[in-house]
Copies of this chain bind each other. A is one copy, B any other.
């Protein structure tokens, strides 16, 4: 089936989009017109430059409303969710007891030069996030929080030495693609070390999507607003699956 969808302003399929951007130009009526033509070149129709003004010598900013002719077939969009197994902490602990019969060993770190630990801490620390307890509070998880600026080498070495079942890598800084670089380095190193298939490998951060994670070779990716139980449920069910398949 195909279900084509367009942006919605006030009428189905009107395609309305708001844009704003700066141009390296002094403001003038011609700059407004340049903005209009530029947005038209982007493929929009019914382009209205509703605001244009100077913000500094040589720079102007614009607000534009326009219609896009593009549609997206929603049914063709693949974005498998990792948050399917909604379970409470108690349920997850029970599940692990039943299906694995032992504690899951899980290690988390802010890799590369990234020092933004709040996100990974929200998943790991006792306290958790949005009233959802962190993995340290789970009876059936043994949690290692390696903190910030952890080199991929150190993370992998730790995983080996502590026979870790699941690795959680966090990246918050995305400037110049540094997140992708660091995530890729980690997965490559795990493969080089022959560890990749033996662990559940998860990445997370505000710009991470599950789709991007699987493209990078991760088992799952968790983005903004993730709560610990979503991660715990994924890890538990994945490990149970791996167990069943006899890893």
Q: Contact: A72 with B38, CB < 8 Å? A: yes
- Name which residue of chain B comes closest to A51, CB basis: B224
Q: Which of A205-232 contact B (CB under 8 A)?
A: 207, 209-211, 223
CA distance A176 to B12 in the complex (A): 15
CB of A210 to closest CB in B, whole Å: 6
A134 shortest CB reach to chain B, Å: 22
* A17 contacts the other chain (CB 8 A): yes
Q: A5-B25, A210-B29 are in contact. Are A74 and B43 (CB under 8 A)?
A: no
Contact partner of A21 among B16, B31, B33, CB < 8 A? B16
Bound CA span A34–B18, Å: 17
Listed A/B pairs (19) with beta-carbon separation below 8 Å: A8-B22, A8-B23, A8-B24, A17-B19, A17-B20, A17-B21, A28-B79, A29-B81, A29-B83, A30-B74, A30-B78, A31-B74, A33-B78, A34-B72, A34-B77, A37-B72, A37-B77, A41-B72, A42-B43
What 9 pairs across the A-B complex have the smallest Cβ distances?
A: A33-B79, A7-B21, A30-B79, A38-B72, A17-B21, A34-B77, A41-B70, A8-B24, A18-B20
Interface residues of A (CB under 8 A from B): 5-9, 12, 16-25, 28-35, 37-38, 41-44, 48, 50, 59, 68, 70-72, 74, 77-79, 81, 83, 207, 209-211, 223
